[in-house]
A and B are shown apart, each in its own frame.
Chain A
Amino acid sequence: LPPPAHLCLLTLLLPLLSSAAPISPAESISQAYSLALYMQKNTSMLLQTYLQYQGSPFSDPGFSAPELQLSSLPPATAFFKTWRTLDDGERLSLAQGAFLALTQHLQLVRDDQSDLNPGSPILLAQLGTARLRAQGLLGNMATIMTALGLPMLPEEDTLGLVAFGASAFERKCRGYVVTREYGHWTDRAVRDLALLKAKYPA
């Protein structure tokens, strides 16, 4: 993960940007798209880093378990025709719901990992950053929906019941599914926003 850039707040005080200023859909879509692209670059690295810290069999080369799923996470895969025929609101709502769930799951995974791998700040930082970005993307999507005049989804606890007594392996598997799905959903968000971007050019 890149080290945090230093922000000199003094300089930020000078150009007073109004928070109430209406943001055009194209602008917010573009920003969200950039974020999604930026996230996409890092998702595979996050998964790699995650697996690397979990030990065998996760860290074995070529490890893959596509059949592992989490019921609390909506699957990112969809029929292309179904996905393509969705209107903007539905498509954004699906993504929003997924990322809302992902932010909570990423928090869960980070908590699990800080327990399982306390001496791995890189992984924890990446997980934290991934959750922040997911949150940021959620915020961007909300801005788009506001700009497009679409109805907002009510916030809900998508995580549901969590087995706190899960074994380490279970938690590792859960983490694996979350980081993998985070990547998948990021890929899908890039496609979603690309469609939207084409529709609302700057």
Chain B
Amino acid sequence: MLTLQTWLVPALFIFLTTESIGELLDPCGYISPESPVVQLHSNFTAVCVLKEKCMDYFHVNANYIVWKTNHFTIPKEQYTIINRTASSVTFTDISSLNIQLTCNILTFGQLEQNVYGITIISGFLQFFVFRATHKFADCKAKRDTPTSCTVDYSTVYFVNIEVWVEAENALGKVTSDHINFDPVYKVKPNPPHNLSVINSEELSSILKLTWTNPSIKSVIRLKYNIQYRTKDASTWSQIPPEDTASTRSSFTVQDLKPFTEYVFRIRCMKEDGKGYWSDWSEEANGITYEDNKLFAIKSLTMRSKNEMSTLPPFEANGKILDYEVTLTRWKSHLQNYTVNDTKLTVNLTNDRYVATLTARNLVGKSDGTVLTIPACDFQATHPVMDLKAFPKDNMLWVEWTTPRESVKKYILEWCVLSDKAPCIADWQQEDGTVHRTHLRGNLAESKCYLITVTPVYADGPGSPESIKAYLKQAPPSKGPTVRTKKVGKNEAVLEWDQLPVDVQNGFIRNYTIFYRTIIGNETAVNVDSSHTEYTLSSLTSDTLYMVRMAAYTDEGGKDGPEFTFTTPKFAQGEIEAIVVPVCLAFLLTTLLGVLFCFNKRDLIKKHIWPNVPDPSKSHIAQWSPHTPPRHNFNSKDQIYSDGNFTDVSVVEIEANDKKPFPEDLKSLDLFKKEKINTEGHSSGIGGSSCMSSSRPSISSSDENESSQNTSSTVQYSTVVHSGYRHQVPSVQVFSRSESTQPLLDSEERPEDLQLVDHVDGSDDILPRQQYFKQNCSQHESSPDISHFERSKQVSSVNEEDFVRLKQQISDHISQSCGSGEMKMFQEVSAADAFGPGTEGQVERFETIGMEATIDEGMPKSYLPQTVRQGGYMPQ
């Protein structure tokens, strides 16, 4: 058999040999076992036994033994003291292949004395054996790499070789399975070397690579991988493998950028793919040649009407020496400028200009780039439509719909929108046929890009269209700061500012407002991103609320700081709503009171400051010379003022009749009626309004006498009063003191009245009517001053009486009576004046006028009661 054969032996045991090292001439002890054979990853225990003699000499025992491996002390935990002479050490899971184990004793002064040592040697032994015609030399594995072996021999390809591994140790010898293979299928070639790059003067877009193939090329055919990148790039591009699938020593890389430095590398393997790729070759650099065709100047831009600048060349294709700008003013004027900078400032008029820019490098001149500067009155129109921007494959794509007009080209400008930095535009140009492109530039994530697309027509630029886009959104880096704009009792108006564009990191899709009380659960409200205000309703009053806000982009959200506010106890205006009406009501009441007082000021004045007549101003003497007695009376009576004389009269009365009831006016009144004619008449008349009706009640209560007296008294008083009234109405006072005199007058015809009274004693009204009639007739027919005056006086008396009466028995008197006290007075006078009025009360009221409305029916219905009451009270 000529076939080469090999044996393979797996070696899985540690080959442990021992040798005594550092052995003393007379060792102090020994390690057992001397030559153990231990399987790999198994446990191993060694025992060190000290000799008695040594122990005595050093004054030590087994506790003093220290084990060491390769001069490192083994932890005490692995020791076991067997007896005073022996200590053992245990290794678990032996993995190290070369261990030097020593047994030491710690002698006096912590000096370590080596006692005995063994070396554990372990490893694999491998053999490669060619039997029959040829046997290669054995390949012995090195100790430190026991699982691999490098054979150094001139390989014979297309011949199968057999390989096996043999391992041998104290336990025996083991042989592995044999493997049989043709080395040609296991080739890992050396990498191609001497890689060099040659550029071409003819073509600026190609570079030619040459290399030297590895020697294996004489045995096998090769295929290659060629990779390249620009010098600054980090990722490699690979030439399609099918282009390099056969043995070669050169390759021309095409479609490269002019004037650009590229880096190349190459590797190879057997053409059919059986075997292994070689390592990559060393890298080689090359620069493409400058291109005479500069499509460098991509665009001219106009910053303002007076300033025109070229943006930096997009692709220089070589070192640009200078630029040439030709400015044509509407076919007439030609101006040439040569600049080294990328900016040119020219003063222009308002006309239309055409600027042509060319760049020049070593090779030649570029094609011209034309910029039409429209006239001042030019109106940009026809923007692109449906502008869209979206990220895809880690690039930002822009897509638009072409306008109807034929577009020469599109200018895409973009910049990072930021509040901190100005918008520095980057740009690129696209052909007029393009309607979708990606931004060629280094775009950052979570930055807002403002992309502007401007179509360029034959006559100038069209209107630009802008759109914002993100390459990749992220949650905002800051949350919105919410604050309250207005806090009501049950609601709060929150407001916030839009997040600055720098922290947005994406399109804010919505906000979420979280609010809670200290104890309550958090409530979340979603708000559309267009809002900057939100009203929280149905809040609890007088409560501390904590509110915070989160802004969300497509990628997530971020909370803003928490804001606290307290809802007030009362809603705005609530206090006012309570206070103002209260104040108003108070004011109104006060006002009414004041008004009332004002209206009644005479009465009040009368009550508080009695009107004391000035006797010196009395003129009675002048107008009543024919009645001297009256004169006297008048002068006498003048002392008493209108309001006061009643009191005086009362006093007089009291002076006459102190026995009865001085306090009770009513009773006094009655008393007067009953007992004193002079006084009684006045009081009787005084009560005319009230009393007139009371009289019937009194009479009905079978007090005929009193009623008779009263009626007679009335008669008298009336006569007297009327007599005076015609002359001096204001000086009724006099009448009082004349009480005796009227009696004389009235006595002229007392029978008539008394008769009537007597006849109709049972019917009160009738005599009274009669009396009134008389009174009235008297008043009308005879302008007897004394008579009239008398009645007036009586009425005043009556009024006074009534006031007092009302004051004293106010609890008994009904409201109507009380409120109408003043009216009663007038009524009385009216009643006196119009006797018949008593018959038809309504009529009488009508004549009275304004009093009637307030005082309706009072004299008829209530006054009798009060009188009656008064009448009864004495009883």
Q: Check if A135 sits within 8 Å of B133, measured CB to CB.
A: yes
Chain A residues within an 8 Å CB radius of B156? 129, 132-133, 135-136
CA distance A7 to B159 in the complex (A): 14
Most B CB contacts (10 A, CB to CB) among A5, A38, A41 go to: A5
B residues 167-185 in Cβ contact with A at 8 Å: 176-184
Minimum distance in angstroms from B151 CB to a CB of chain A: 6
Given contacts A1-B154, A17-B181, A132-B134, contact A35 B159 (CB under 8 A): yes
Query: A8-16, A57-65, A80-88, A164-172: which lies at the B interface?
Result: A8-16
Chain B residues with CB below 8 A from A41, complex form: 218
Are B163 and A9 in touch, CB under 8 angstroms?
yes
Q: Given the interface contacts A1-B154, A8-B148, does A31 sit within 8 Å of B182 by beta carbon?
A: yes
Tell me whether A3 is interfacial, beta carbon within 8 Å: yes
Number of interface residues of A (CB under 8 A): 40
Chain B CB within 8 A of A34 CB: yes
Checking A5, A13, A21, A138 against B216 with a beta-carbon cut-off of 8 angstroms, the contacting residue is A5
Determine how close the nearest CB of chain A comes to the CB of B176; give it in whole angstroms. 8
Q: Which of B126, B134, B184, B188 touches A135 (beta carbons < 8 Å)?
A: B134
- Count, chain B residues at interface, CB 8 A: 44
B2 contacts A125, CB within 8 Å?
no
> Interface code B508-552, partner A: CB below 8 Å = 1, 0 otherwise?
000000000000000000000000000000000000000000000
For residue A42, CB closer than 8 A to chain B, the reply is: yes
A139 on interface, CB distance cutoff 8 Å? yes
Please give, as numbers and ranges, the residues of chain B lying within 8 Å of A125 by CB-CB distance.
Answer: 154
Given known pairs A19-B162, A38-B218, A143-B3, the reply for A5 and B181 (CB within 8 Å) is: no
Verify if A106 is at the interface (C-beta below 8 Å from B): no
Q: Contacting B188 at CB < 8 Å: which of A5, A10, A128?
A: A5
User: Does B149 reach chain A (CB closer than 8 Å)?
Assistant: yes
Q: Please state if A16 and B179 are interface contacts (CB–CB under 8 Å).
A: yes
| Residue B147 CB within 8 A of the other chain | yes
Beta-carbon contact of A7 and B151 below 8 Å: yes
Interface flags for B769-805 (1: CB within 8 Å of A; 0: not) read 0000000000000000000000000000000000000
Q: Does A119 contact B (CB under 8 A)?
A: no
A-B pairs with beta carbons under 8 Å apart, 19 shown: A2-B216, A2-B219, A4-B154, A5-B187, A6-B150, A9-B151, A12-B179, A13-B165, A19-B5, A31-B159, A34-B158, A42-B218, A125-B154, A129-B154, A129-B156, A136-B156, A139-B160, A142-B1, A142-B3
Contacts of A17 in B (CB 8 A): 179-181
- The answer to whether the Cβ of B139 comes within 8 Å of any Cβ in the partner chain is yes
Which secondary structure dominates chain A's binding surface?
helix
Chain A's closest residue to B139 (CB) is: A9
B159 lies within 8 A of A5 (CB)? no
Closest to A41 in B: B218
CB-CB contacts of A71-92 with B at 8 A, as 1s and 0s? 0000000000000000000000
CB contacts (< 8 Å) of A35 on chain B: these are 157-159
Residue pair B158, A9 in contact (C-beta under 8 Å): no
Q: Check B215 against A2 for contact (C-beta < 8 Å).
A: yes
Do most interface residues of chain B lie in helix, strand or loop, or is the interface mixed? loop
Tell yes or no: B300 within 8 A of A by CB: no
Please provide the chain A residues from 141 to 169 with a CB less than 8 Å away from any CB of chain B in the complex. 142-143
- The answer on a CB contact under 8 Å between A9 and B159 is no
Whether B153 is near chain A, meaning CB under 8 Å from some CB there, is yes
CA distance A15 to B149 in the complex (A): 17
* Residues from chain B with Cβ under 8 Å of A103 in the complex: 133
Decide yes or no whether B186 CB sits under 8 A from chain A: yes
Given contacts A2-B216, A143-B3, contact A18 B148 (CB under 8 A): no
Q: Is B8 an interface residue (CB 8 A)?
A: yes
10 tightest CB-CB pairs across the interface, nearest first? Answer: A136-B159, A35-B158, A2-B215, A139-B2, A19-B180, A10-B148, A136-B156, A34-B158, A132-B156, A17-B180
A32-B158, A103-B133, A129-B156 provided; 9 other pairs, C-beta below 8 A? Answer: A2-B216, A13-B176, A31-B182, A35-B157, A38-B219, A129-B154, A135-B159, A136-B158, A140-B159
Q: How far is the CB of A196 from chain B (nearest CB, A)?
A: 15
Min CB distance, B341 to chain A, in Å? 59
| Nearest Cβ on chain B to A175's Cβ, whole angstroms | 19
A3: which B residues are within 8 A, CB to CB?
Answer: 215
Provide the bound-state CA to CA distance between A110 and B385, in Å: 86
B interface with A by C-beta (< 8 Å): 1-5, 8, 126, 133-134, 139, 147-160, 162-163, 165, 176-184, 186-189, 215-216, 218-219
A11/B158 contact (C-beta < 8 A), A135-B133, A143-B3 known? no
Hey, which chain B residues are within 8 Å of A132, CB to CB?
Answer: 134, 154, 156
**Minimum distance in angstroms from A4 CB to a CB of chain B:** 5
In the assembled complex, the Cα of A116 lies from the Cα of B765 at a distance in Å of: 189
Are B179 and A4 in contact, CB atoms less than 8 angstroms apart?
A: no
Query: Residue on A with the closest CB to B187?
Result: A5
A7: contacting residue among B3, B160, B183, B219, CB under 8 A: B183
Complex formed: what's the CA distance from A12 to B186 in Å? 8
What is the CB-to-nearest-CB distance from B132 to chain A, in angstroms, rounded to a whole number?
8
Q: How far is the CA of A86 from the CA of B155 in the complex (A)?
A: 33
Known: A17-B179, A35-B158, A129-B154. A138 touches B133 (CB 8 A): yes
Please determine whether B158 and A31 come into contact, CB atoms closer than 8 angstroms: yes
Structural contact, A18 and B154, CB atoms closer than 8 A: no
Q: Quick one: which of B4, B133, B179 contacts A13, CB cutoff 8 A?
A: B179
Is B186 in contact with A11, judged by CB distance below 8 angstroms?
Answer: yes
The distance in angstroms between the C-alpha atoms of A38 and B155, with both chains bound, is 13
How far does the alpha carbon of A142 sit from the alpha carbon of B132 in the complex, in Å?
12
Shortest distance in angstroms between B270's beta carbon and chain A's nearest beta carbon?
Answer: 11
A10 touches B179 (CB 8 A): no
Contact between A8 and B150, CB atoms less than 8 A apart:
yes
- Chain B residues with CB under 8 Å of A6's CB are 150, 188
Q: Which residues of A contact B155 (CB under 8 A)?
A: 4-5, 7
* Interchain CA distance A5-B155 in the complex, whole Å: 7
Q: How far is the CA of A38 from the CA of B159 in the complex (A)?
A: 12
Q: Which residues does chain B contribute within 8 Å of A32, judged by CB atoms?
A: 158
B131 CB, min distance to chain A CBs, angstroms: 11
* Chain A residue with Cβ nearest B150: A6
A143 to B182, CA, bound (A): 13
Task: Give A159 to B211 CA distance when docked, in angstroms.
Answer: 45
Nearest CB in chain B: distance from A102 CB, A: 13
Q: Which residue of A lies closest to B136 (CB)?
A: A132
Task: Give the distance in Å from the alpha carbon of A19 to the alpha carbon of B179 in the complex.
Answer: 6
In the assembled complex, which residues on chain A have CB atoms less than 8 Å from the CB atom of B162?
19
Q: What residues of A have a CB within 8 angstroms of the CB of B165 in the complex?
A: 9, 13
A5, B150: Cα distance in complex, Å: 10
- Knowing A13-B165, A128-B154 touch, does A139 contact B218 (C-beta < 8 A)? no
Q: Which of A3, A19, A132 gathers the greatest number of chain B CB atoms within 10 Å?
A: A19
Q: How far is the CA of A19 from the CA of B155 in the complex (A)?
A: 19
Is the beta-carbon distance between B181 and A12 smaller than 8 angstroms? yes
Q: CB < 8 Å: which of B5, B134, B163 contacts A12?
A: B163
State the CA gap A2–B186 with chains docked (Å): 16
Q: Which residues of the partner chain B approach A143 to less than 8 Å between Cβ atoms?
A: 3, 160
* A4 adjacent to B152 (CB under 8 Å): yes
Closest residue to B148 on the A side, CB-wise? Answer: A10
Residues of A near B187 (CB, < 8 A) are: 5
Q: Mark A17-31, 1 if CB is under 8 A from B, else 0.
A: 111010000000001
A18 to B177, CA, bound (A): 9
* CB < 8 Å neighbour of B186 from A7, A34, A128, A137: A7
Please report the C-alpha to C-alpha distance between residue A9 and residue B4 in the assembled complex, in whole angstroms. 16
Please, which residues of chain A bring their CB within 8 A of the CB of B178?
A: 19
- Looking across the interface, which residue of chain A has its beta carbon closest to that of B4? A139
Query: Which A residues are in CB contact (< 8 Å) with B179?
Result: 12-13, 15-17, 19
Bound CA span A10–B148, Å: 5
Residue of A nearest to B2 (CB): A139
Which residues of chain A from 28 to 50 have any CB-CB distance to chain B below 8 Å in the complex? Answer: 31-32, 34-35, 38, 41-42
A38 CB, min distance to chain B CBs, angstroms: 6
A170 CA to B775 CA, complexed, in Å: 200
Bound Cα distance A6, B215 (Å):
13
- Name A137's closest neighbour in chain B (CB-CB): B159
The answer for the CA separation of A2 and B218 in the assembled complex, in Å, is 8
CB pair A140–B1 under 8 Å, yes or no, is no
